[in-house]
A and B are shown apart, each in its own frame.
Chain A
Amino acid sequence: MALREWIDERFPLTEFIERHITKYPTPKNLNYWWNFGSLAGAFFAVQVITGIWLAMYYKPSTELAFDSVQHIMRDVNYGWLIRYLHAIGPTGFFFAVYIHMARGIYYGSYKSPRELIWWIGLAIYLALMAEAFMGYLLPWGQMSFWGATVITNLFSAIPVIGSKFVIWLRGDFAVGDPTLGRFFSFHTTFIPLGIIGLLLVFHLTALHRVGSNNPAGIDLDKKGPAVVPFSPYYVTKDLWFISLIFTVYLYFVFFKPDFFLEPINNEPANPFATPLEIVPEWYFLPFYAILRSIPSKLGGVVAMGGAIFILAFLPYLDRSPVRSARYRPIKRVLTWLFFLNFLVLGYVGAHPPFGVMVLIGRIATFYYFLYFLLLLIIPAFEKTRPLPKEVEL
């Protein structure tokens, strides 16, 4: 094609497409746990598009925000659809991201030479949490207001400058109009496009430099029989799985939109009355449980931050030469326990911190951190199973 040639002389279009899509060599033995990265990408696309559309009618001011959301829900054509897609999308996004991360942990995808992919991924996860948190303030409901109040107050635990920092962060002496304005600005421009979008490009660039890990966790010859080109094999596999999960997602959007939304957020923000229970969105619950398990303000904040940052040290904590937990009997058990423990933390986070919940929360918090210590120790005595020479579908 003449046009293609004209462009290729000036811009490496064909080269780019072949290198990153059509001819990109991919291990043929990837199982379905490898589908969640592209799934997260699909949810990101939905969030960006619906977000751009919502911003056309949303008004970031404490006087108008709540009304403008109701205007979108009631009067704007298909406003209810775009808003529900955007409000329920994060559930799918975090669902995909958590499983994507769990897969990385289980199959040792953070190990050399993929440390940088892992770290960039963690940075995306952090940015995603900030993005979700700031976005949650925008509807200006009761839970929006009090969630933002509580979370911004976490920073007051920082010694010496803490309380001044919180005032700076809010731009006022309580969460108010300036807070809403800056959260809207960050939520709609800098974080999604400047940080998450950019890091996503880095994440994929780093991945395409070293290639995908695989369930066997062994290095593969990129020209050998163990790999297949990304297209059509993983194009169809990714697409059908995205379609499957989107069917579930759309079921919730059309038939159970309330399921993941907090009823009390249908009341406009009222700085004079705190709701009886403040529960974060489900994807923050495990960390919320860790925060509450430490009976000290600073300690809780440090533990919660530490629970995320400790993931960055995985490549150095886990020194075993074997990547995949398939061939590491002890890591395998500990890791499944770690995942189960994470769900327990989520369960604890969803309940008021009384009685037995406190105890369960503390034990689960303890195991969360113990897991990383155990990863450091076990290679000394763990008998790994022999690694295969070739991969199997």
Chain B
Amino acid sequence: MEKKGKEVSRRDFLTVTTSAVGAVGIGAAAIPFIKFMSPSKDIIRAGVMDVDISGLKEGEFKIVMWRKQPVFLLKRDKRMIETAARIDPSKLKDPASPEERVKRPDFLVCIGICTHLGCIPHFQPEKIAPGFDLPGFYCPCHGGKYDTLGRRLDGPPPENLHLVPYEFIDGKKLRIGTPEFAGFTENIRKIQDLPKVKV
């Protein structure tokens, strides 16, 4: 009788061990199938993009597509810099100083997706909207208003336009993104919080 009891416990031990090892194996086997569905290496590589900015004139605005997301490039002229500097950051809903929004005062790089519901705001070189007598961005969907630093001034958007990592290369080229940086969903709104771009 005692021998039989031992026999049973030995089988139980073996059953438990084998089941555990088997379960670990099934779990591990699932990993490649899960990773298979996350962005492939070519998509990751495409996260670093070079743009030629040598032709951009004072006050000129351009949208480039990066990771299927619109990125605003704005060569800021004197008026843009001055009007934005007049705004008191502490009065903003999402406070940020010009130094926190751009690496170079004369150049804005940000993700052109309205933080309200994801539309692309329009660039308004004269005035954003009636009553907002300065240049900036206006979202036609629900009236979101941003200055030339992408800071939210008015309307339903909860926060400033999101930023993307970038670096100037010898003044002519702009390198946007890193392999890991996802873009809008990273929700980074201060230059200092951005990851470094490899040059």
Contact = CB atoms under 8 A, between A and B. Distances in A.
Nearest to B31: A78
B37 A75 contact: no
A82 B31 CA distance: 11
A57 B93 CA distance: 44
A89 to B, nearest CB: 14
Contacts of B38: 77
A206 to B, nearest CB: 30
B42 A75 contact: yes
A76 interface: yes
Contacts of A77: 32, 35-36, 38, 40-41
A53 B36 CA distance: 8
Interface string B1-38: 00000000000000000000000000000011101111
Interface in B37-89: 37-38, 40-43
A74 B43 CA distance: 12
Interface string A63-77: 000000001001111
Contacts of B37: 53, 56
Interface of B: 31-33, 35-38, 40-43
A-B pairs, 7 with minimum CB distance: A78-B32, A77-B35, A75-B41, A75-B42, A75-B40, A76-B40, A81-B32
A79 B37 CA distance: 10
Contacts of A56: 36-37
A57 B42 CA distance: 13
Most A C-beta atoms less than 10 A away, residue of B31, B32, B35, B36: B36
A393 B40 CA distance: 53
B23 to A, nearest CB: 13
A30 B42 CA distance: 52
Contacts, number: 34
A57 B39 CA distance: 11
Contact of A71 (B31, B35, B36, B40): B40
A49 B40 contact: no
Interface string A302-346: 000000000000000000000000000000000000000000000
Contacts of A71: 40, 42
Interface in A18-73: 49, 53, 56-57, 71
Contacts of A78: 31-33, 35-36
Contacts of A76: 36, 40-41
Contacts of A79: 36, 40
A81 B31 CA distance: 11
11 contacts: A53-B36, A53-B37, A56-B36, A56-B37, A74-B41, A75-B43, A76-B40, A76-B41, A77-B41, A78-B36, A82-B32
A53 B34 CA distance: 10
A76 to B, nearest CB: 4
A53 B38 CA distance: 12
A7 to B, nearest CB: 24
Contact of B33 (A53, A57, A74): A53
Nearest to B42: A75
A56 B36 CA distance: 9
Nearest to A80: B32
A53 B33 CA distance: 7
A75 B39 CA distance: 9
A378 B172 CA distance: 91
A130 B33 CA distance: 27
Nearest to A50: B33
B188 to A, nearest CB: 25
A49 B33 CA distance: 9
